[in-house]
Amino acid sequence: MQGMEERRLFFGFSVDAPWPTSYPKGRIIEESARHLTLAFLGNRPFDEKALSDFPKPEFPIGPVGVCDKLLFLPDLKPRVVSNQVHWLTDGEKLGTYQEKVLDWLENLGYTVDRRPFLSHITLARAPFVEKEWEEVFEPLPVMITGIHLYESIGNLRYPSIWDLPLICAFEEFEHTADIAFYVHGQNYRELYLHGALAMSFKFPHFITYLQDSEITDLHAVVRALNQMITKSDQEIGCPFKAVSYHGKFTEEKPLKWEMIVDV
C-alpha cells in the first residue's frame, strides 16, 4: 500500500471452490478475483497503519458452505450473476464479524453501509441471459481462505494489497495411489463437514449427500463419510471407494486429521 493515496478499496473474504471450467455468456470474473465483500471504503484515502488494529474474527478456520442457488442482482435490473452461499459452519459469525469491521471503519471516520450481510460470490457482470445461467447451475462446495483488502482497478480486476490468512478447512497432499487431505476442525462435527467438502472439491455432487449425523469421535467421522460414499455410489456412481480409519490424528485444537481416501 502507498500511504494515504486515494484508491477504490474494499475488504472481503477470498474463497475457493471447484469452479466450472466454462460459463454462459457474461463478463466473467477470474477465479482468483472471486470473493465475498465485507465492507466498501469508497474512493477515499486509507492509512495502512490502521491495519495493525484490524479486528480479528472469532473463527480461526475459514467457514465452509454450499453455493445453493443463483442470484441476479439487483432484483429490479440485474447487473451481476452471483452464487448464494448457504453456510455449513460459522454462518452466524460472518454477519457478526462484518458488524465488527463496520464499527472499526466508523471509528476511523468512514461512512459505512449497514445493510444485512448477503452471502454471495459474484461470477459475472452484464450482459448475460439469466435462463442460460439457470440451465447450467449446479450446487458447489465453497470455503473461505482468508480476509483481504482489495483494490478495484477496473476491468473486473481486484488485486489483494493486504491479507489476514485463515486456517483452511482442508489441504490436499501427495499420497501413494490414493488421494489425501489434511483436514482441520474445531470439533469432530467440523472434521466430518470439512472432510466431505474436501472430497466434494474432487466430485461436487458428493456434497449433496451430507447427513445430519451425530459425530462424537473420529470413528464416527469416518463412518459417516463412508455412508455418504455408499449412498452416492448406489444412486449416481462415486469415484471414491472408502475413507481409511488409519490416518494420523492430532487432538490439539484445532484438530488435524490426515484423511486418506481410497479411489
CATH of the domain at 256: 3.55.10
- Same domain (yes/no): 182, 113: no
In the numeric block, the cell 445493510 is attached to: 115
Least confident of 32-36, 113-117, 190-194: 113-117
- Whether the pTM exceeds 0.85: the reply is yes
Range of 219's domain? Answer: 170-262
Segment 90-100 shows an average pLDDT of 96
Residue among 121, 127, 140, 133 nearest 206 (CA): 140
Beta bridge partners of 40: 10
Number of domains in the chain: 2
Instruction: Flag whether 1 is in a domain.
Output: no
Least confident of 20-29, 43-52, 86-95, 198-207: 43-52
Burial of 205 (0-12, 13-18, 19+ CB in 10 A): middle
Residue-level pLDDT at 115: 87
Mean pLDDT, the chain, whole residue set: 95
Instruction: Flag whether 119 is in a domain.
Output: yes
- Same domain (yes/no): 129, 92: yes
Give the three-state DSSP class for 193.
helix
DSSP 109: T
Segment 21-47 shows an average pLDDT of 94
| pLDDT over 70 at 191, yes or no | yes
Label residue 5 by pLDDT band (50, 70, 90): low
Segment 214-234 shows an average pLDDT of 97
Q: What is the pLDDT of residues 100-124, one digit of tens each?
A: 999 999 999 999 988 888 999 999 9
Residue-level pLDDT at 44: 80
Side chain identity at 67, as an amino acid letter? C
Least confident of 6-15, 53-62, 84-93: 6-15
Half-sphere exposure of 27 (CA within 13 A, CB side): 9
Strands (E), 152-207: 160-165, 170-173, 179-185
Percent of residues, the chain, with pLDDT higher than 90: 87
Label residue 43 by pLDDT band (50, 70, 90): confident
CATH of the domain at 64: 3.90.1140.10
Instruction: Flag whether 227 is in a domain.
Output: yes
